[in-house]
Amino acid sequence: MKNTSLSACALLAGLLGSPVFAGDVIRIAHMDPMSGPFGLVGESLARHFDAIADDINARGGVLDGMRFEVVHFDNKGSPQESTVLLRQIIDSQIRFVTQGGGSNVAHALVEALAKHNSRNPESAVLYMNFAAQDPALTNDKCNFWHFRFDAHVDMKLAAITDYIARQKDLHKIYLLNQDYAFGQAISAAAKDMLGKKRPDIAIVGDDLHPLGKVKDFSPYVAKIRASGAEAVITGNWGSDLSLLIKASKESGLTVTYYTLNAHNAGIPGSIGAAGEDHIKQVLTWHANVADNKIEKFASDYKTRFKGDFYYNTAKTELEMLARAINEAKSTDPLKVARALEGMKYMSDTGEVWMRADDHQLMQPIYIATFTKLGKGVKYDVENTGYGWKTDVRTEARDTVMPTNCKMERP
């Protein structure tokens, strides 16, 4: 992994004054938490980008031989730290930024870039979001310079609640989420959608807890048990999910968890055997999907990094960026953005398209269960002996949701 061991100041000292394109290199800034409670996830995502960029470069790069170089920055999961880093990244003449860990960070970046790009069109920056899922980012907070390559919360909750609606033995559900834009959106969407699809289901708890601050989730687990819930919907990620699962396992709680982030680094290992057939996850790809077009890529990644590839949205993002640069015949962020708008692309799970109205990618969505090897599972995760098994696939055309985005274009 490149540069994550360097301090931001040391790294930027080497970049300042250098053009975004050093010789035949196109630099892309990747900003995520590389330390603190979510550092394990950020470090893993950095390795994802290194592997994806190397793969694109090995196939010839872009514009007849220019190659991608991803430069990693530790934003510590902080919106404030992220905006400081963004200013320094802009000064270093990097014109492409990607981030995924935290919708709170995404909102800060969208706002900061809207101001910068309108005032400084000659140094405009394109922001590619591969994992921040608050629906507002491609609705009332949409911006021309922001493109989202992951399905947002409402799209994922639509898939989850469609699945839950068919489970006739489910009557009580608990909502437990982190108290910021992402978790709040999950809580709101779950209540609204379940109310329409299964009004007989009771929401027996709806807790929002501080992001990355809870060290012991046993009190929450006790509340879940006392509520009589049969299932929990949670968007928790990083340590907030691993500690929740740990507390649940230690208490012997056997509810089904419907999650949005149980595939993240460190979580499957913390679940282990206790999660067998009790953890369900909404995904845009997993290693056991039918017609797995990136089986070799994922296998090579595991050999190289001794870890699992799991965020295919990062791969789709860089591959679509490469196509947009080639189609625009330019690395100018404005021309690249216009090439991305409306783009259709044959991804690793089928055709996807970037809706021009709001810059939201439409792609297939899976619901999968954490299941033992040999039960329809070829590949496990984190050497646990358990992996993801598809329950249902929702086609891209069936994930489309309306948007209230009113985008201003340069």
Residue with the larger pLDDT of the pair 111 and 239: 111
Bridge partners (DSSP) listed for residue 192: none
43 phi/psi in degrees, rounded to 5: -65, -40
User: So what's the architecture of 8-151+310-362 in CATH?
Assistant: 3-Layer(aba) Sandwich (3.40)
Q: Max alpha carbon distance in the chain (Å)?
A: 63
Q: Would you state the pLDDT for residue 21?
A: 44
329-335 mean pLDDT: 97
Q: Would you state the pLDDT for residue 270?
A: 86
If one counts every other C-beta atom within 10 angstroms of the C-beta of residue 54, the result is: 17
Q: Are 320 and 409 in contact (CB under 8 A)?
A: no
For residue 82, count CB atoms less than 10 angstroms from its CB and return exposed for 0-12, middle for 13-18, buried for 19 or more: buried
For 126-167, the pLDDT digits (tens) are: 999 999 999 999 999 999 999 999 999 999 999 999 999 999
Q: Are 268 and 70 in contact (CB under 8 A)?
A: no
- Residues in the chain, total: 410
**pLDDT band at residue 238, thresholds of 50, 70 and 90?**
confident
**pLDDT band at residue 56, thresholds of 50, 70 and 90?**
very high
Identify the CATH assignment for 154-283+364-398 out of 3.40.50.2300, 3.40.1160.10, 3.90.920.10, 1.10.490.20. Answer: 3.40.50.2300
Share of the chain above pLDDT 90, in %: 89
End-to-end CA distance of the chain: 36
Cα–Cα dist 14/17, whole Å: 8
Q: Are 28 and 56 in contact (CB under 8 A)?
A: no
Q: Would you state the pLDDT for residue 271?
A: 85
Cα–Cα dist 320/164, whole Å: 33
Cα–Cα dist 52/130, whole Å: 13
- Look at residues 164, 240, 246 and name the one whose alpha carbon lies nearest to residue 207: 240
Cα–Cα dist 197/142, whole Å: 28
- Look at residues 287, 247, 291, 311 and name the one whose alpha carbon lies nearest to residue 368: 287
For 334-377, the pLDDT digits (tens) are: 999 999 999 999 999 999 999 999 999 999 999 999 999 997 89
Q: Domain limits of the chain?
A: 8-151+310-362, 154-283+364-398
Least confident of 58-62, 128-132, 264-268, 321-325: 264-268
Centroid of chain to Cα 121: 28
Return the SS3 of 235: coil
**pLDDT band at residue 23, thresholds of 50, 70 and 90?**
low
Q: How does the average pLDDT of the chain come out, rounded?
A: 93
Tell me whether domains 8-151+310-362 and 154-283+364-398 share a fold.
yes
Helix H or strand E encompassing 347:
strand 344-347
E-strand ranges in 200-255 read: 202-209, 231-234
- Which residue type occupies 144? F
